[in-house]
């Protein structure tokens, strides 16, 4: 099993940081790659044409390994999830009577673009709410999703886990059902990929969109998108010169080219060869491939389990293990406990988590230890 990797980060010792779902801290190695990237532009003569795009290619290959995607050329650099989703939305024709299926309280970047598409076309966004009952909530929510997918479903746009409380969505079952009805599957991997295994070969998403600054341990403003063959002949949201065929030939750029780069490469953001952000994200994903998402899950499970058990005994509500992430889960308060006093107590104990809906969102990673969970426990119990 993995051991604590805290020494690879520079988190202040007094801080109990259980909030990777908000933003990961920076690996020292990633920070170093960023500084090297900043310095690179001191001397532009050393930034030659052959290495202009080289690191993006390495990044594609490294990420392809992480998500088990057979073809790295299906992976492109994006600045944000909303951008990656916008490319998908632009290439989906939908009409009145059809719908895009999402779950309740989904992250806005994977809701607004669909809402806008549906408003323009007269189609609907079908929102699947969780059951009211907390017993077997994850299981029943998944059943509701599967039952709601029909011949009128154009696409299911969903995360692998819910961003607010870590409820796990069974993407393999959803994929099977979407295939039966001919619907697309668009996955927002931001709150899972990196810490929770994702396998493109098994799940076969039509698109997998992921921000880089959370579980991928990268910097802000860079992410990655995988687009499957459905999108191969589509139109990107921007007309960037790098995305046109033969753009590697800098001398020929104004022999304007009608064709895009093949397949998914047309969806890459302009100036993708970012000399600072790309090497940082590359370094981070190399580290993740070395640790492995499976082992990160196992580590998070091991450090959290004893305290979660004690909280359940005290009347806190936590989703059943098989239906949530070990790296991201919600803790709901026992009846009558005031959320504000919980917030105050956590703050007083320097315990950093998030509050999303009626859940305390706890999201550990490899820099946390059992001690961090003990501190969380103390702070929660003091608020009762
Ligand atoms: C599930 C999910 N998707 C996307 C994002 C970020 O979206 P964007 O990159 O469009 O800012 C977040 C941020 O919290 C998130 O939790």
Q: How would you write the pLDDT of the chain (384 residues) with one tens digit per residue?
A: 999 999 999 999 999 999 999 999 999 999 999 999 999 999 999 998 878 899 999 999 999 999 999 999 999 999 999 999 999 999 999 999 999 999 999 999 999 999 999 999 999 999 999 999 999 999 999 999 999 999 999 999 999 999 999 999 999 999 999 999 999 999 999 999 999 999 999 999 999 999 999 999 999 999 999 999 999 999 999 999 999 999 988 888 889 999 999 999 999 999 999 999 999 999 999 999 999 999 999 999 999 999 999 999 999 999 999 999 999 999 999 999 999 999 999 999 999 999 987 789 999 999 999 999 999 999 999 998
Indicate the top mutation candidate among 84, 191, 208, 225 to test ligand 1's pocket, ranked by most ligand atoms within 8 A of CB: 191
Count structural domains, the chain. 2
Task: Name residues whose C-beta falls within 8 Å of residue 46's C-beta, 6 or more positions apart in sequence.
Answer: 40
231 SS3 class: helix
Q: Cβ–Cβ contacts within 10 Å for residue 88, how many?
A: 26
Q: Is residue 34 domain-resident?
A: no
pLDDT of amino acid 256: 93
Q: Is residue 73 domain-resident?
A: yes
Enter the pTM of the model.
0.97
Shared domain for 280 and 309, answered yes or no, is no
Strand ranges (DSSP E) for 18-150? 75-78, 99-103, 124-128
pLDDT of amino acid 362: 98
Q: Whose CA is nearest to atom 11 of ligand 1?
A: 80
CATH of the domain at 359: 3.90.1150.10
> What residues pair up with 208 in beta bridges, in sequence order?
187, 226
Q: Is residue 25 domain-resident?
A: no
Q: Whose CA is nearest to atom 14 of ligand 1?
A: 22
pLDDT of amino acid 166: 96
Task: Name residues whose C-beta falls within 8 Å of residue 364's C-beta, 6 or more positions apart in sequence.
Answer: 18, 20, 300, 303, 304, 327, 372, 373
The number of the ligand 1 atom at minimal distance from the alpha carbon of 106 is 1
Q: Is residue 26 domain-resident?
A: no
Distance 81 CA to ligand 1 centre (A): 6
Shared domain for 275 and 307, answered yes or no, is no
Q: Whose CA is nearest to atom 6 of ligand 1?
A: 81
Pocket of ligand 1 (CB under 6 A): 80-82, 107, 109-110, 159, 163, 188, 190-191, 211
Distance 109 CA to ligand 1 centre (A): 6
Distance 42 CA to ligand 1 centre (A): 33
pLDDT of amino acid 25: 98
pLDDT of amino acid 359: 87
Provide the domain limits for residue 128: 39-290
pLDDT of amino acid 230: 98
CB 245 within 8 A of CB 260: yes
Shared domain for 281 and 177, answered yes or no, is yes
Kind plus residue range of the DSSP H or E element containing 157: strand 153-159
Distance 192 CA to ligand 1 centre (A): 11
Among 290, 309, 338, the domain-final residue is 290
pLDDT of amino acid 48: 87
Distance 211 CA to ligand 1 centre (A): 6
Shared domain for 345 and 282, answered yes or no, is no
Shared domain for 78 and 221, answered yes or no, is yes
Shared domain for 111 and 190, answered yes or no, is yes
Shared domain for 317 and 217, answered yes or no, is no
* CA within 13 Å, CB half, 190: 30
How far apart, in whole angstroms, are the C-alpha atoms of residue 249 and residue 246?
A: 6
pLDDT of amino acid 251: 87
CB 327 within 8 A of CB 198: no
Among 265, 290, 315, the domain-final residue is 290
Distance 210 CA to ligand 1 centre (A): 8
């Amino acid at each position: 099993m993995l051991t604590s990797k805290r020494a690879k980060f520079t988190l202040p010792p007094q801080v109990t940081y259980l909030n990777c779902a908000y933003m990961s801290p920076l690996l020292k190695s990633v920070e170093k790659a960023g500084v090297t990237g900043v310095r690179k532009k001191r001397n532009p003569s050393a930034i030659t044409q052959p290495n202009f795009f080289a690191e993006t290619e390495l990044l594609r290959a490294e990420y392809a390994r992480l998500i088990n995607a057979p073809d790295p050329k299906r992976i492109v650099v994006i600045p944000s999830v909303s951008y990656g989703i916008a490319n998908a939305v632009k290439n989906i024709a939908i009409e009145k009577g059809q719908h895009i299926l999402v779950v309740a309280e989904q992250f806005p970047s994977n809701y607004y673009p669909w809402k806008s598409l549906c408003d323009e076309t007269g189609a609907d966004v079908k929102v699947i709410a969780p059951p009211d009952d907390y017993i077997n909530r994850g299981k029943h929510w998944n059943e509701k999703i599967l039952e709601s997918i029909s011949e009128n479903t154009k696409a299911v746009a969903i995360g692998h886990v819910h961003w607010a409380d870590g409820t796990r969505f069974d993407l393999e079952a959803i994929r099977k059902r979407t295939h039966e009805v001919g619907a697309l599957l668009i996955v927002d991997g931001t709150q899972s990929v990196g810490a929770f295994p994702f396998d493109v070969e098994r799940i076969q998403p039509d698109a997998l969109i992921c921000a880089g600054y959370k579980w991928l341990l990268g910097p802000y403003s860079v992410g990655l998108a995988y687009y499957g063959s459905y999108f191969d002949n589509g139109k990107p949201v921007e007309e960037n010169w790098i995305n046109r065929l033969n753009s590697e030939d800098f001398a020929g750029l104004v022999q304007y080219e009608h064709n895009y780069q093949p397949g998914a490469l047309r969806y890459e953001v302009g100036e993708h060869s970012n000399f600072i952000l790309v090497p940082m994200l590359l370094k981070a994903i190399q580290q993740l491939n070395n640790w492995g998402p499976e082992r990160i899950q196992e580590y998070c499970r091991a450090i959290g389990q004893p305290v979660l058990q004690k909280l359940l005994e005290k009347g806190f509500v936590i989703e059943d293990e098989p239906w949530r992430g070990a790296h991201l889960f919600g803790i709901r308060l026992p009846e009558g406990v005031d959320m504000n006093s919980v917030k105050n107590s956590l703050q007083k104990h320097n315990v950093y988590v998030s509050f999303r809906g009626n859940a305390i969102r706890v999201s550990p990673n490899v820099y946390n230890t059992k001690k961090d969970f003990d501190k969380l426990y103390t702070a929660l119990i003091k608020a009762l």
